[in-house]
Amino acid sequence: MSASQDTLLQVRDLYKHFPIRAGLLQRQVGAVKAVDGVDFDVYRGETLGLVGESGCGKSTTARLVTRLLDPTGGSITWEGRDIATLSRKELKPLRREMQMIFQDPYSSLNPRKTVGTIIGEPFIIHGVETDERKRKRMVQELMEQVGLNPEHYNRLPHQFSGGQRQRIGVARAIALKPKLIVADEPVSALDVSIQAQILNLLRDLQKELGLTIIFIAHDLSVVRHTCDRVAVMYLGRIVEQATSDELYAHPRHPYTGALLSAVPVPDPRLSRDKHRQVLGGDVPSPTNPPSACRFHTRCPKFVEGTCDVNDPPLELKDGGNLAACHFPLTDDEIARRVPTAAA
Amino acid sequence: MAEPLLQVEDLRVHFETEDGVVKAVDGVSYTVDAGKALGIVGESGSGKSVSSMTVMGLTRASNAHITGRILFDGKDLLAASDDEMRAVRGGQIAMIFQDPLSSLHPFYRVGDQLVEARRVHHDESKAQARDRAIEMLSLVGIPDPRRRVDSYPHEFSGGMRQRVMTAMALINDPKLLIADEPTTALDVTVQAQILELIQKLQHELDTAVVMITHDLGVVAEVAEEIAVMYAGRIVEKGHADTIFAEPEHPYTWGLLNSIPRLDTPRDQELVPIPGRPPSLITRPPGCSFAPRCPYVREAHRRVDPVLASAEGADHTVACLLPSQTRRALWSRLRAGASPEEAKEAVNIPETLSESAPKEGEEVTSA
């Protein structure tokens, strides 16, 4: 992660607070602090994973970066230019360069449009190809590229299986040759035998087209396999960030350790010997997050007077991980709590 | 050994639809012993949920044609009347579902719902049943159960709701708990809590568990025995250790090699299973997995395999490949070979496995 790497996207101090309004005058009585001070870089050609439990702000972060939502504060620098405050009109040319793939291949495709129309729509919106016959050829090439039968051009989404629909979503996303693809839980709605098909497709397309991918998922095994670097989020903040190899070999933040420890391993012998560390309780409400370190209410290493008073900065720890913790996990603790992390 | 608690024999559930007869479950047999856990693994449409809903008597519809036998504690549930089924359901057999929010009534306090579940099966006063409800909530780890018993479902988080559902399922001391994807909608940390809870209850209350899931990791944690389902049938069954270490069905191999996992090298290739599951209306002739199987031979498209014993105790598999060939293929796959490389290295004969039915023979039962 040297400075020489080519940064495509730089996010600094990003905030998104959704106001909570109440009463006759709809006065603001509070805010859901969905994203609460997030910094990260995305390098050209890499896959960055964003992981965390539901409500940690990973999807909101993705929607801010692609400017589907307006940030409350902070900067988003895209190829050297701050896009955090651009207007809709100014954003339009940028939309070609960043595309999204969604979780649910059933609800993200218009059921009344043919697959040809769905995949060809970006060409019309951005005025790339107005001639219908040429457009059809381009769409069929895309279908071929993602492993769909080009003869199915005139079919409707319901005539495809879940895996094929996700391929349609991928074809639509790569139609305009974007630089960045944000994939929000792209395989979590798919059957296990189909998941691998889509993961391999994304990897092949990334190589072929030189794509940069932000990959959001809650499945830590999928993220490890897919991503070069991973950022772990908890209650609107990044608590740990490292390369996949480092993060999974030696998680430093106790939250990352607990997440990894909770992943069920498809090996009965290993899971019998495992001393799983089960976190108690639930994620606190993002309207009123705990003081200082937000994880202190559930942390197995909580120290009163420190963790609930001083907010730990995201800083370099042993082994090269960036973690926001006063008492990061030691190698010994990792070996005991996360059997799969044996480096 | 004592009689198994649940004995399912040659169960078939066929639904009459406008498009044709859907053979959702087509000849499934398994047993569950008291206090043990069976994992049923399969993808959507494999029939894993329909088979267990039939055990609960939940698939009795005018268009459903159900045959076979389901013996629970010596009693044939398929022959039981609707009234008798109502007594069993929620009493001796309880079920928890994937989506705890839609399984709880949003208008009633969880305490009232628990009390009702108790009083349907027990002649108790409301106060007694309420005490029992509080006891159950505390057993499943709801903090402050005396207060929370009066909360509404929306006041609980997803994981807490699944605990409430589990409390409701267990309030009548069932002998059998059927858990249908109980953790699929939950985050990993909450999933770990719920799995730990189910195991604790299994051991403390001696409840038998049928865990239905698509997640191989989840069954590895919970189940002592595993049945792999494909297209309405069980294609492989055995002890959990055997299924993960010495699987003999190409579909099981496919499942194991298509998932990324934390205990293998990060750059290990994922090998997807090509194609997709067959239609349950027009099942392919011969082996149902043949259209997706990398090791298929011509005769496999004509002969229907039956579950027959394989290597290892109580291990059965429905595959037409000779057992020697199966073991040779798995030893290559396990060493990291791709299906193509394994096929290259192992000579796959045209002859069928010793246990395969003769060609042209009608197969009646698995």
- Name the minimum distance, in Å, from the CA of A133 to any CA of chain B: 30
Interface touch A340/B214, C-beta < 8 Å: no
Quick one: CATH architecture of B228-345? 3-Layer(aba) Sandwich (3.40)
> pLDDT over 70 for what percent of chain B?
98
In this structure, how many other beta carbons lie within 10 angstroms of the beta carbon of residue A12? 15
- Residue B1: per-residue pLDDT: 55
Q: State which amino acid sits at residue B348.
A: I
Q: List the domain boundaries for chain B.
A: 6-223, 228-345
When CB atoms are compared, the residue of A199, A222, A266 closest to B220 is A266
Round to whole Å and give the CA distance between B118 and B210.
22
Query: For A2-22, what is the mean pLDDT?
Result: 86
- A49, A246 Cβ separation under 8 angstroms: no
Closest-CA residue in chain A for B143? A281
Q: What is the mean pLDDT of residues A101-111?
A: 87
Distances (CA, A) of B77 to A66, A280, B63, B122: 56, 40, 19, 21
Whether B6-223 shares its CATH topology with B228-345 is answered: yes
| Cα–Cα distance, A70 to A66 (Å, whole number) | 10
Residue A281's pLDDT band (cuts 50, 70, 90): confident
Query: What is the SS3 string spanning chain B?
Result: CCCCCEEEEEEEEEEEECCEEEEEEEEEEEEECCCCEEEEECCCCCCHHHHHHHHCCCCCCCCEEEEEEEEECCEECCCCCHHHHHHHECCCEEEECCCHHHHCCCCCCHHHHHHHHHHHHCCCCHHHHHHHHHHHHHHCCCCCHHHHCCCCHHHCCHHHHHHHHHHHHHCCCCCEEEEECCCCCCCHHHHHHHHHHHHHHHHHHCCEEEEEECCHHHHHHHCCEEEEEECCEEEEEEEHHHHHHCCCCHHHHHHHHHCCCCCCCCCCCCCCCCCCCCCCCCCCCCCCCHHHCCCCCHHHHCCCCCCEECCCCCCEECCCCCHHHHHHHHHHHHCCCCHHHHHHHCCCCCCCCCCCCCCCCCCCCC
The shortest CB-CB distance from A195 to any of B240, B256, B258 is to B258
Domain boundaries A7-107+179-193+211-341, corresponding CATH code? 3.40.50.300
Residue A13's pLDDT is: 96
The architecture of the domain spanning B6-223 is: 3-Layer(aba) Sandwich (3.40)
Task: Give the integer Cα–Cα distance in Å for B134 and A129.
Answer: 66
Per-residue model confidence (pLDDT) at position B364:
47
Q: Is residue B198 a contact partner of residue B182, using CB atoms and an 8 Å limit?
A: yes
Greater confidence, A224 or A55?
Answer: A224
Do you know the residue count of chain B?
Answer: 366
Three-class DSSP category at A122: helix
Question: Please, are residues A244 and A222 in contact by the beta-carbon 8 Å criterion?
Answer: no
**Number of A–B residue contacts, CB under 8 Å:** 131
Interface test with B, best of A187, A188, A193 (most B CBs within 10 A): A193
Give the CA dihedral A327, A331, A332, A334, nearest 10 degrees.
80
Q: How far is residue B200 from each of residues A8, B20, B197, B293, B330, measured CA to CA in Å?
A: 49, 44, 5, 39, 35
Confirm or reject contact between B364 and chain A (CB < 8 A).
no
Q: Give tens-digit pLDDT for A225-267.
A: 999 999 999 999 999 999 999 999 999 999 999 999 888 888 8
Q: Considering all CA atoms of chain B, what is the largest pairwise distance in Å, rounded to the nearest integer?
A: 71
The answer to whether the Cβ–Cβ distance between B43 and A265 falls below 8 Å is: no
From edge to edge, which strands make up the β-sheet containing B64-72?
B20-32, B6-17, B64-72, B75-76
Single out the residue of B188, B170, B176 nearest to residue B212, CA to CA. B176
Quick one: what percent of chain A has pLDDT higher than 70?
97
Alpha carbon distance A107, A105 (integer Å): 6
The Cα–Cα gap between B208 and B169 comes to 13
Q: What is the pLDDT of residue B365?
A: 43
For B110, residues 6+ apart whose C-beta sits below 8 A from its C-beta are B104, B137, B148, B149, B151, B152, B153, B156, B164
pLDDT score, position B361: 55
Closest chain B residue by Cα to residue A54:
B187
Give the HSE-up count for residue B116: Cα atoms under 13 Å, Cβ half-sphere. 8
Which residues of chain B make contact with A163, given a CB cutoff of 8 A? 276
- CB contact set of A295 (below 8 Å; sequence gap of 6+): A234, A235, A239, A253, A254, A255
CB atoms within 10 A of CB B354: 9
* CA atoms of B156 and B104, how far apart (whole Å): 11
A30: enclosing H helix or E strand: strand A27-43
Interface check for B261 against chain A (CB to CB < 8 A): the answer is yes
Residues A36 and A23: their CA atoms lie apart, in Å, by 26
Backbone angles phi, psi at A278, to 5 degrees: -95, 125
Residues in a beta bridge with A81: A78
CB contacts of B293 in chain A (<8 Å) are none
Locate B113 and state its tokens.
């719902």
Q: Which of B190, B217, B266 sits opposite A265 (nearest CB)?
A: B217
What's A152's DSSP letter?
A: G
- Mutate which of B187, B198, B288 to disrupt the A interface (most A C-beta within 10 Å)? B187
Residue B120 phi/psi, 5-degree rounding, is -60, -35
Give me the torsion for CA of A64, A69, A75, A76, rounded to 10°.
Answer: 50
Instruction: Determine which helix (DSSP H) or strand (DSSP E) holds A234, and give its type and residue range.
Output: strand A229-234
Q: Within chain B, which residues score under 50 in pLDDT?
A: 364-366
Alpha carbon of A285: minimum distance to chain B alpha carbons (Å): 11
SS3 content of chain A, % helix, strand, coil (to 5): 35, 20, 40
Best of A267, A269, A279 to disrupt the B interface by mutation (most B CBs within 10 Å)? Answer: A267
The answer to whether the Cβ–Cβ distance between B189 and A259 falls below 8 Å is: yes
- Residue B163: which residues within 8 A CB-CB, separation 6 or more? B137, B140, B141, B142, B194, B197
**Rg, C-alpha atoms of chain B:** 22
Residue boundaries of the structural domains of chain A? 7-107+179-193+211-341, 108-177
Residue type, B144: D
pLDDT > 80? residue A271: no
Residue B333, pLDDT score? 92
Residue B256 is nearest to which of A195, A266, A340, comparing CB atoms? A266
Give per-residue pLDDT as tens, A292-309. 999 999 999 999 999 999
**Contact yes or no for A194 and B241 at CB 8 A:** no
What is the rounded average pLDDT for all residues in chain B? 90
Q: Which residue in A6, A11, A79 sits closest to A241, CA to CA?
A: A11
Would you call B312 an interface residue with chain A, using a CB distance cutoff of 8 Å? no
- Hey, is the C-beta of B187 within 8 angstroms of any chain A C-beta? yes
What is the dihedral sign for C-alpha B72, B73, B74, B75? negative
**B-chain residue closest to A243, CA distance:** B266
Q: How many Cβ atoms sit within 10 Å of the Cβ of residue B296?
A: 18
B246 touches chain A (CB under 8 A): no
Mean pLDDT value of segment A88-113: 90
**Cα gap B228→B210, rounded to integer Å:** 13
In Å, how far is A115's CA from the nearest CA of chain B?
20
Tokens found for residue A238? 């990044």
Question: What whole-number distance in Å separates Cα of residue A190 and Cα of residue A163?
Answer: 6
Q: Which residue of B has its CA nearest to A271?
A: B221
Which chain A residues are closer than 8 Å to B221 by Cβ?
264-265, 268, 271
- How much is the ipTM here? 0.83
Q: How far apart are CA B33 and CA B51, in angstroms?
A: 17
What the block records as the tokens of A137 is 């050829």
What's the burial of B108, exposed, middle or buried (CB within 10 Å: 0-12/13-18/19+)?
Answer: middle
The Cα–Cα gap between A169 and A162 comes to 11
A77 min Cα distance to partner chain B (Å): 31
Q: Compare CB distances from B43 to A192, A222, A260 and report the shortest one's residue.
A: A192
Q: Looking at beta carbons, which residues of chain B come within 8 Å of A259?
A: 188-189
Best of B188, B258, B280 to disrupt the A interface by mutation (most A CBs within 10 Å)?
Answer: B188
Residue B9 near residue B69, CB atoms below 8 Å: yes
Average pLDDT of the residues of chain A? 91
Instruction: Enumerate residues 6+ apart whose C-beta is below 8 A from B255.
Output: A192, A193, B41, B216, B228, B273
